[in-house]
């Protein structure tokens, strides 16, 4: 995957994709704003969500052990996976132990992160996605471009063609007369998946939340496919990131208000499935939880970056980001696109590669992502923090030299004054476009006008006369201090 600037340049040339994205994000953004505005205590709710997540992360070791004890007591089995390879090995082994070669899946970011489908395929196991958007992505051999709506870059006409061309090779074919009406497309997917739900004996899911004191898993979805996967198969395997824990059901209640309004703009989620261990004669009779680290403990050790682990995958930051709206999700080269991906991916993978090192710069730092985040993740703060990490690595000589000179000039009053005077004197010679590599900066921006006189110079000349007198006079202590400067 190329670095973000190259990938974004290519993506922005796709006018159809940009149109699809703008239409979809505008719609979702409007629904969210309406749903959030209904609550007078939204700000308090947001702070409560942040506080629960911060408390949980501070005592994560304790809650993880409590979750393992609760799941085990309820008849489930807990597995620990340090990285993607170990998680894939565990899940593949569990499926092979059942003797099955097909699994159905509930939409799961964690399994996409570890590329579970690819690992299962290498072992001769076929994973069937059952979420409508994930089904579209799978049938078209595409990649997800949004956390909540993975096929957001596709319009109805494109989806109809995908169904017509590819459904037959994965099972029940699409009707010959299939139109691009949303109800017809949904019905085609429903018929295609029904057989799969009834025949498949193993399901794989993620979890939006894992409740430590009861061992319960929670999945929020909008189509009912998750409920089918979580109840019909004989074996259920849930791959869960270790940051998904909430201590109690009382804590969960906060997020069941925050997540639907932030993600789909709904007052409550259409399908909220919860399950605890195994119940004889009812639902899956074998239940496994794979607790996934895969870089999360390293993120937890970063006092600034750890706030990314509060994320509840609502994707509100994507829907409001001007950069994401123009580039789409593929340009980020990760299953986590948009602002949250720009801080989460470099922390999970590191910034050694050019692709990950470019992600902290995939932002204008406008702060819109922070304003809409339901758990108050200060994404701009983490972006700047990661940029510091990137430039501290070998290379970036020109940037380091420029910052070094700027720091030296601004570190001394006389040096700064001399530099400002020199800039004012040379203002008539300033080009409208920078030369060399710096020209890229001025391709889309105007160089700010340099004032004829610096503030310091103006203050020395006028400050003493204009400064207010705290004691009632015209020449108080502040004015005298300003005058000396």
pLDDT over 90 at 163, yes or no: yes
Give pairs for 54-57: CB < 8 Å, separation 24+. Answer: 54/310, 55/247, 56/245, 56/246, 56/247, 56/251, 57/243, 57/300, 57/306, 57/309, 57/310
Give 121-161 pLDDT, tens digit per residue.
999 999 999 999 999 999 999 999 999 999 999 999 999 99
Checking if the pLDDT of 311 tops 80, the result is: yes
Joined together, the tokens standing for residue 350 give 């590191």
Does pLDDT of 281 surpass 90? yes
For residue 114, which of 83, 92, 90, 135 has the smallest C-alpha distance? 83
Residue 483 has pLDDT above 60, yes or no: no
pLDDT value for 310: 98
pLDDT, average across residues 6-31: 93
Amino acid 477: pLDDT: 40
Mean pLDDT of 387-416: 89
Confidence of residue 397 (pLDDT cuts 50, 70, 90): confident
Mean pLDDT value of segment 157-171: 95
Mean pLDDT of 387-393: 91
Query: Residues 221-242: what's their mean pLDDT?
Result: 95
Name beta bridge partners: 79: 290
Percent of all residues in the chain with a pLDDT value above 90, rounded to a whole number: 81
Mean pLDDT of the chain: 92
Confidence tier at 446 by pLDDT (50, 70, 90): confident
Residue 450 has pLDDT above 90, yes or no: no
| pLDDT tens-place string over residues 91-123 | 999 999 999 999 999 999 999 999 999 999 999
What's the CA angle centered on 168, arms 164 and 172, to 5 degrees? Answer: 105
What's the rounded mean pLDDT across residues 223-245?
96
Give the pTM: 0.86
Task: Give the pLDDT confidence score for residue 466 in this predicted structure.
Answer: 63
């Amino acid at each position: 995957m190329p670095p973000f600037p190259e990938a974004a340049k290519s993506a922005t040339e796709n006018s159809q994709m940009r149109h699809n994205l703008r239409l979809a994000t505008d719609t979702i953004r409007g629904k969210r704003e309406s749903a959030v505005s209904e609550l007078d205590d939204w700000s308090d709710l947001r702070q409560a969500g942040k506080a629960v997540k911060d408390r949980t992360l501070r005592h994560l070791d304790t809650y993880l052990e409590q979750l393992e004890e609760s799941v085990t007591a309820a008849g489930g089995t807990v597995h620990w996976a340090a990285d993607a390879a170990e998680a894939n090995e565990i899940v593949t082994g569990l499926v092979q132990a059942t003797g099955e070669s097909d699994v159905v899946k509930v939409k799961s970011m964690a399994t996409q992160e570890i590329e579970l489908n690819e690992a299962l395929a290498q072992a001769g196991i076929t994973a069937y996605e059952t979420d409508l958007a994930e089904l579209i992505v799978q049938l078209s051999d595409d990649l997800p471009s949004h956390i909540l709506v993975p096929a957001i870059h596709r319009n109805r006409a494109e989806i109809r063609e995908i169904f017509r061309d590819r459904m037959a090779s994965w099972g029940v074919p699409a009707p010959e007369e299939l139109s691009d009406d949303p109800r017809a497309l949904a019905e085609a997917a429903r018929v295609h998946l029904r057989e799969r739900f009834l025949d498949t004996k193993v399901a794989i899911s993620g979890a939006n939340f894992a409740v430590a004191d009861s061992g319960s898993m929670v999945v929020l979805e909008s189509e009912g496919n998750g409920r089918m996967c979580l109840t019909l198969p004989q074996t259920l395997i849930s791959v869960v990131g270790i940051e998904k824990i909430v201590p109690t059901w009382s804590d969960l209640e906060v997020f069941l208000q925050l997540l639907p309004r932030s993600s789909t703009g709904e007052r409550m989620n259409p399908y909220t499935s919860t399950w605890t261990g195994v119940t004889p004669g009812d639902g899956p009779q074998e239940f496994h939880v794979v607790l996934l680290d895969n870089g999360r403990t390293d993120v937890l050790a970063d006092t600034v970056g750890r706030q990314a682990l509060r994320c509840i995958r609502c994707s509100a930051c994507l829907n409001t980001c001007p950069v994401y709206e123009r580039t789409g999700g593929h340009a980020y080269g990760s299953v986590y696109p948009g602002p949250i991906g720009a801080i989460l991916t470099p922390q999970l993978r590191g910034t050694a590669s050019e692709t990950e090192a470019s992600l902290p710069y995939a932002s204008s730092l406008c702060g819109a992502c922070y304003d809409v985040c339901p758990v108050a993740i200060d994404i701009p703060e983490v972006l700047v923090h990661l940029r510091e990490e990137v430039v501290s690595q070998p290379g970036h000589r020109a940037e380091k030299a420029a910052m070094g000179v700027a720091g030296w000039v601004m570190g001394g009053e006389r040096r700064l004054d001399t530099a400002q005077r020199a800039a004012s004197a040379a203002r008539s010679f300033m080009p409208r476009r920078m030369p060399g590599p710096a020209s890229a900066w001025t391709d889309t921006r105007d160089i700010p006008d340099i004032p004829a006189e610096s503030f310091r110079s103006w203050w020395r000349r006028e400050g003493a006369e204009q400064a207010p007198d705290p004691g009632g006079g015209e020449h108080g202590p502040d004015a005298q201090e300003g005058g000396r400067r």
